[in-house]
């Protein structure tokens, strides 16, 4: 019998065990001649950065129902896209998603370019995403590296150097493994293997297609890999949010955040600065502000955040330009980013609103 290469073994496993994902063309569909839609591949790859399949799935369905092609998305209103993205986090991705859709629409005739270099020149597409789209959407043999693939590769070759220093070594291994036939399926198979078998805590080596070749398994060190340099502890910042309702119609006072920076362009409650010392109170207008019991805690990539929440009911104070009243039919907490939604959840228990 012919000795199968590692990539052939993995592809055989994938043909039987590929996960059913809403953006994926399955091995069976590929055989039947279905080809991937680069728009869906791109959208899923952007959404999946820093997030799980379970979290992304409802957003992916919602986006592709409302904007079925990149041209539809390019012509969407910014505020609609930001509201649809709310809760998925890392909002710079949503701003770049729109920028990228508009470049593809206006400069590439609504078609994603089928080249690693051209994809890399588009807004919000870095080396990983470009490689993933090249491989999955266009079947180009670009080595793809994500967290799952890093873990599988470091175990398969027993790479003990810690991440992120080991990235070039891992990348070279993946480049060697990536086949010219079905490179897109190979990349997805590596992701699936990492997500379902070669999992972070207890790899199921007994059912792994790499088990006979895996150096990490042979040495008994698989579950300690990949090694990682210790992370710096995150600082904690403090701040206050101010939630006001208008007496006559129950409208909520919201603020569109500046276009760049944290939560850029998202709607939120008026806020003080967020700083490591206790920031000064900065309500949006003078009024009878009442502190809500409890606090909101949230963690961003680089810091933890603790927020005190103040509420008031009011009539019509003078407001700054970036503040706007949202009456109940226009206001939905689902349009708010998660940290702002946590504040909404906290005040719902306060007697002042009941
Ligand atoms: Fe991971 Fe075990 Fe497979 Fe090695 S044999 S790749 S450690 S699941």
CA of 29 to the centre of ligand 1 (A): 28
State the DSSP H helix or E strand holding residue 306, giving kind and residue range, or none if neither.
Answer: strand 304-314
Ligand 1 atom with minimal separation from the 152 CA: 6
At residue 322 the predicted structure's pLDDT band, cuts being 50, 70 and 90, is confident
Q: Output the furthest CA–CA distance in the chain (Å, rounded).
A: 82
Cβ contacts of 97 within 8 Å, gap of 6 or more: 43, 46, 73, 81, 85, 124
Ligand 1 atom with minimal separation from the 211 CA: 5
Does the annotation count 212 as an active-site position? no
The residue whose C-alpha atom lies closest to atom 4 belonging to ligand 1 is 214
pLDDT score recorded for residue 2: 47
Ligand 1 atom with minimal separation from the 209 CA: 3
pLDDT score recorded for residue 351: 62
CA of 289 to the centre of ligand 1 (A): 57
Whether residue 70 contacts residue 101, with contact meaning beta carbons closer than 8 Å, is answered with yes
The share of the chain scoring above pLDDT 70, in percent, equals: 96
| Centroid of chain to Cα 209 | 29
Q: What are the chain's domains?
A: 4-224 (1.10.340.30), 236-353 (3.90.79.10)
Which residue out of 8, 45, 276, 295 is catalytically annotated?
Answer: 45
DSSP 280-291: PP--SS-S--EE
In terms of Cα–Cα distance, which of 195, 159, 160 is closest to 24? Answer: 195
Mutational test site, ligand 1, from 211, 220, 223, 224, max ligand atoms within 8 Å of CB: 211
Task: Tell me phi and psi for residue 177, to 5 degrees.
Answer: -75, -30
Whether residue 242 contacts residue 269, with contact meaning beta carbons closer than 8 Å, is answered with yes
Q: Can you give the pTM of this predicted structure?
A: 0.83
Residue 16 has pLDDT above 70, yes or no: yes
At residue 1 the predicted structure's pLDDT band, cuts being 50, 70 and 90, is very low
CA of 177 to the centre of ligand 1 (A): 15
Whether residue 74 contacts residue 106, with contact meaning beta carbons closer than 8 Å, is answered with yes
Mutational test site, ligand 1, from 198, 200, 224, max ligand atoms within 8 Å of CB: 198
Question: Is the four-CA dihedral 6, 11, 13, 18 of positive or negative sign?
Answer: positive
The Cα-based distances of 125 to 61, 99, 116, 129, 324 in angstroms read: 21, 11, 10, 6, 34
* pLDDT tens figures, 215-272: 999 999 999 999 999 888 999 999 999 999 998 888 999 999 888 889 988 999 999 9
Helix (H, G, I), strand (E, B) or coil at 140: coil
* pLDDT tens figures, 20-76: 999 999 999 999 999 999 999 999 999 999 889 999 999 999 999 999 999 999 999
């Amino acid at each position: 019998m012919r000795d199968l290469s590692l990539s052939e073994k993995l592809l055989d496993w994938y043909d039987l065990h590929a996960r059913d994902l809403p953006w994926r063309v399955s091995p069976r569909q590929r055989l039947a001649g279905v080809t991937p839609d680069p728009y869906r591949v791109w959208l899923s790859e952007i959404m999946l950065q820093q997030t799980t399949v379970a979290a992304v799935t409802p957003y992916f369905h919602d986006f592709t129902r409302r904007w079925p092609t990149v041209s539809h998305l390019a012509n969407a209103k910014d505020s609609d896209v930001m509201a649809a993205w709310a809760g998925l986090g890392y909002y710079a991705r949503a701003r770049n998603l729109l920028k990228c859709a508009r470049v593809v629409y206006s400069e590439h005739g609504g078609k994603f370019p089928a080249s690693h270099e051209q994809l890399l020149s588009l807004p919000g597409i870095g080396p990983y995403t470009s490689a993933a789209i090249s491989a999955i959407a266009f079947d180009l043999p670009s080595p793809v590296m994500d967290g799952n693939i890093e873990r599988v590769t470091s175990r398969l070759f027993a790479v003990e150097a810690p991440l992120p220093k080991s990235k070039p070594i891992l990348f070279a291994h993946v480049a060697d493994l990536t086949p010219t036939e079905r490179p897109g399926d190979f990349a997805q198979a590596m992701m699936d293997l990492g997500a379902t078998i070669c999992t972070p805590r207890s790899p199921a080596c007994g059912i792994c297609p790499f088990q006979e070749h895996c150096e990490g398994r042979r040495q008994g060190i698989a579950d300690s890999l990949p090694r990682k340099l210790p992370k710096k502890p995150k600082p904690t910042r403090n701040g206050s949010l101010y939630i006001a309702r208008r007496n006559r119609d129950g409208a909520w006072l919201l603020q569109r955040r500046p276009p760049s920076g944290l939560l850029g362009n998202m709607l939120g409650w008026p806020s003080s600065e967020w700083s490591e010392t206790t920031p000064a109170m900065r309500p949006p207008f003078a009024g009878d502000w009442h502190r809500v019991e409890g606090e909101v805690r949230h963690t961003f990539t680089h810091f933890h955040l603790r927020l005190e929440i103040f509420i008031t009911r009011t009539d019509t104070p003078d407001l700054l330009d970036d503040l706007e009243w949202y009456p109940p039919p226009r206001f939905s907490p689902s349009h708010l980013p998660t940290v702002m939604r946590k504040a909404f959840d906290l005040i719902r228990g306060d007697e002042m609103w009941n």
